[in-house]
Structure 1
Amino acid sequence: MSKRYYFSIRYTPAQADYELLAGRCISQMHLFMVNNRQAMNRIGVSFPDWSDVTVGQTIAFVAENREMMVGLSFQPYFSLMVNEGLFEISSVCEVPDNAIEVRFTRNQTIGKSFLGSKKRRIERSMARAQLLDAGTSLPVTNEERVIDRFHRIPISSASSGEDYILFVQKELVSERIAANFNSYGLATNQERKGTVPELRV
């Protein structure tokens, strides 16, 4: 397979909300892909400091195209945060051949396990069935799911103005899978199974 390149961003404030900052960085990468169609689904996100407690103080972006990584690293938001002393950005480096492969997956089914989501789905299905009136109460749901550890990354959509959560899980994998990510640089439960190097720093 082709060589891969990456750069990492480290959030310097000690008491920062790492999930919030990861979401802002991912949003910038998403905008970069939307405006550079050749980058769409080709850039992956890695979290070198991921733990059970947090996504960590560092985020990395990975792609097979070095120039693409250089272009992304010079996005105005990243430059502004560096100038403000809030981010440290590495240079674009080649991924080592012996890197451990991992998959960071956006698991949307996690969100469906929370009560608010269940209630909205029930309301929608009742409305579709034209059962929702002033006197109808919501049925009690009885769904039991076992969910592996995950982190919540808040994202704001520039196009819709909506705020939502990316539920992200980490999985160790035995081999590298070609770049195939969603527009947030993550794998999905279904068709997008791209992997990224773990990049422990």
Structure 2
Amino acid sequence: MTKRYYFLIRYMPAQADYGLLAGRCISQMHLFMVNNRQAMNKIGVSFPDWSDVTVGQTIAFVAEDKDMMVGLSFQPYFSLMVNEGLFEISSVCEVPDTAIEVRFVRNQTIGKSFLGSKKRRIKRSMVRAELSDVESSLPATNEERVVDSFHRIPISSASSGESYMLFVQKESVGERGTVNFNSYGLATNQERKGTVPELRV
């Protein structure tokens, strides 16, 4: 099986907002992929210190292309944060064959459980009803959702300037899956099923 390579970023401040810093790191990786099309959907994100309480103090990036990992690790934002003493970055290492495989899934259906999302969907359906001259009816909701543990990671879009949340869950998987991630290095509920090594440190 093809070798994989990774590097770790550890956030140094003890009182840091780890979710916020994870979002910043993921945004940098997203920009790297957008500017290097051969990297698109080929870099996965792993959270070695993930728990029910926090995304953890460390984030890892994983890919089959070592040069791609070296290029990502030298992004100006990461270098700046290292120089400021805020990040510690490992060298690019080979993933051990013994690593346990996991999947970090972007689950946007979680976001639909929050009030702001419900209000937006109701407003959209009322506008659609007005446009189609149909008697206005509110959408039927099934609010009995049971959601496993998840974390919110705030992301800012460089192109639109919009901020939004990635709702991320961790799944255990039996074996290594194909390299297939979304543009944030995560798996999805549908077509993207990429797995990453757990990389517990």
TM-score, normalised to structure 2, is: 0.95
Distance 2:138 2:116 in 1: 12
Work out whether residues 118 and 141 of structure 1, in 8 Å CA contact, stay in contact via their aligned partners in 2: no
Match of 1:154 in 2: 154
1:139 positional shift: 7.3
1:118 positional shift: 1.0
Distance 1:92 1:34 in 2: 21
Match of 1:75 in 2: 75
SS at match of 1:24: helix
SS at match of 2:109: helix
Distance 1:40 1:71 in 2: 14
Distance 2:93 2:112 in 1: 38
Identity of aligned pairs, percent?
A: 88
Distance 1:44 1:155 in 2: 16
TM-score, normalised to structure 1, is: 0.95
Which residues in structure 2 correspond to 1:138-153 (within 5 Å)?
Answer: 141-153=141-153
Distance 1:18 1:76 in 2: 20
Q: Supply the AA of the counterpart residue of 2:118.
A: K
Match of 2:118 in 1: 118
Match of 1:64 in 2: 64
Match of 2:32 in 1: 32
Structure 1 stretches of 5 or more lacking a match? none
Q: Supply the AA of the counterpart residue of 1:24.
A: R
Match of 2:164 in 1: 164
Aligned residue pair count: 198
Structure 2 stretches of 5 or more lacking a match? none
Structure 1 runs, 4 residues or longer, greater than 3 Å off: 136-142
Measured on the aligned residues, the alpha-carbon RMSD in Å equals 1.6
Distance 2:27 2:110 in 1: 21
